[in-house]
Amino acid sequence: MAVEVVYRSSRDQERLFMDKAEADRYDKMLELAESLGEVLQKAVPSLSEQQVEEVGIFMAKNREVFARAFKNQADALSEIVLDGAGQ
């Protein structure tokens, strides 16, 4: 019988990974998404909980592009648009 080691996301119990580093990166992305969501909810109270979650995850998944855009490289955002909305 073979033994397979898998790692479970601590923030998304349904998500399994074959690599610990990948699971850690995913958890950090979700942590960032949650923090972004909290800020967005305070800034735009009319956003629904689902919208806040979706936008937070979108921004967290594309953090490198947003970081460059915030450092006076606004054209970096075109990468997200050209990449099919950064999904």
| Residue 42 resides in a domain | yes
Expressed as residue numbers, the domain containing 15 is 7-82
| Residue 1 resides in a domain | no
| Residue 63, pLDDT above cutoff 70 | yes
pLDDT band of 83, cuts 50, 70, 90: low
For residues 33 and 39, what is the distance between their CA atoms, to the nearest angstrom? Answer: 10
User: Which pLDDT value is given to residue 17?
Assistant: 92
For residues 39 and 20, what is the distance between their CA atoms, to the nearest angstrom? Answer: 29
User: Which pLDDT value is given to residue 32?
Assistant: 96
CATH of the domain at 32: 1.10.10.710
User: Which pLDDT value is given to residue 81?
Assistant: 76
Contact 65, 80 (CB under 8 A): yes
User: Which pLDDT value is given to residue 36?
Assistant: 96
Looking at the 3D structure of the chain, how many domains does it have? 1
pLDDT band of 1, cuts 50, 70, 90: confident
